[in-house]
Amino acid sequence: MQYDDLKLERQLCFPMYVCSREVIKRYKPFLDALHLTYTQYIVMLALWEKDDISVKDLGDILYLDSGTLTPLLKKLKAKQILTLERDERDRRSVVVRATASGMALRDRAVEVPEKVGACVPLSAKEAQTLYVLMYKILGSVRKRDSEQA
Amino acid sequence: MQYDDLKLERQLCFPMYVCSREVIKRYKPFLDALHLTYTQYIVMLALWEKDDISVKDLGDILYLDSGTLTPLLKKLKAKQILTLERDERDRRSVVVRATASGMALRDRAVEVPEKVGACVPLSAKEAQTLYVLMYKILGSVRKRDSEQA
DNA sequence: TACAATTCAATTGTAAGCAATTTAATTTGA
DNA sequence: TCAAATTAAATTGCTTACAATTGAATTGTA
Confidence of residue A142 (pLDDT cuts 50, 70, 90): low
Across B53-74, average pLDDT: 98
Is the CB of B8 less than 8 angstroms away from the CB of A49? yes
Supply the pTM of this predicted model. 0.94
Q: Is residue B149's beta carbon less than 7 angstroms from any atom in nucleic acid strand C?
A: yes
The answer to which of A44-53, A140-149, B29-38 has the lowest mean pLDDT is A140-149
Give the C-alpha separation, A76 to A9, whole Å: 39
CA distance A120 to chain B (A): 6
**C-alpha distance from residue B143 to each of A55, A117, B129 (Å):** 40, 17, 21
What pLDDT is attached to residue A143? 59
Protein-covered nucleotides of chain C (CB closer than 7 Å) are 7-13, 15-20, 24-27
pLDDT at residue B144 tops 80: no
What pLDDT is attached to residue A104? 97
Phi, psi of B95 (to 5 degrees): -100, 135
Q: What percent of chain A has pLDDT over 70?
A: 95
pLDDT at residue B145 tops 90: no
Ramachandran assignment for A147, one of left (phi > 0), alpha (psi -120 to 50 degrees), beta (any other): alpha
Q: Is residue B82's beta carbon less than 7 angstroms from any atom in nucleic acid strand C?
A: no
What pLDDT is attached to residue B148? 47
Identity of the residue numbered A139: G
B95 contacts B54 by C-beta, under 8 angstroms: yes
The mean of the pLDDT values for chain A is: 94
Phi, psi of A91 (to 5 degrees): -70, 0
Q: Comparing C-alpha atoms, which of B120, B79, B8 is closest to residue A138?
A: B120
Protein-covered nucleotides of chain D (CB closer than 7 Å) are 7-13, 15-20, 23-27
Q: What is the DSSP string of A24-47?
A: HHHHHHHHHHHT--HHHHHHHHHH
pLDDT at residue A92 tops 70: yes
- In terms of pLDDT, which residue wins out, A140 or A133? A133
The mean of the pLDDT values for chain B is: 94
Q: Is residue B48's beta carbon less than 7 angstroms from any atom in nucleic acid strand D?
A: no
Q: Is residue B28's beta carbon less than 7 angstroms from any atom in nucleic acid strand C?
A: yes
CA distance B1 to chain A (A): 11
What pLDDT is attached to residue B10? 95
**C-alpha distance from residue B26 to each of B85, B101, B115 (Å):** 34, 25, 9
Residues forming beta bridges with residue A97, ordered by sequence position: A83
Confidence of residue B17 (pLDDT cuts 50, 70, 90): very high
- Per-residue pLDDT of A12-54, as tens digits, reads 999 999 999 999 999 999 999 999 999 999 999 999 999 999 9
Residues of A (66-105) placing their beta carbon closer than 7 angstroms to any atom of strand D are: 66-67, 69-71, 73, 84, 90, 92-94
- Per-residue pLDDT of B73-114, as tens digits, reads 999 999 999 999 999 999 999 999 999 999 999 999 999 999
- Per-residue pLDDT of A105-134, as tens digits, reads 999 999 999 999 988 999 999 999 999 999
Q: What is the 3-state secondary structure (H, E, C) of chain B?
A: CCCHHHCHHHCCHHHHHHHHHHHHHHHHHHHHCCCCCHHHHHHHHHHHHCCCEEHHHHHHHHCCCHHHHHHHHHHHHHCCCEEEEECCCCCCCEEEEECHHHHHHHHHHCCHHHHHHCCCCCCHHHHHHHHHHHHHHHHHHHHHHHHHC
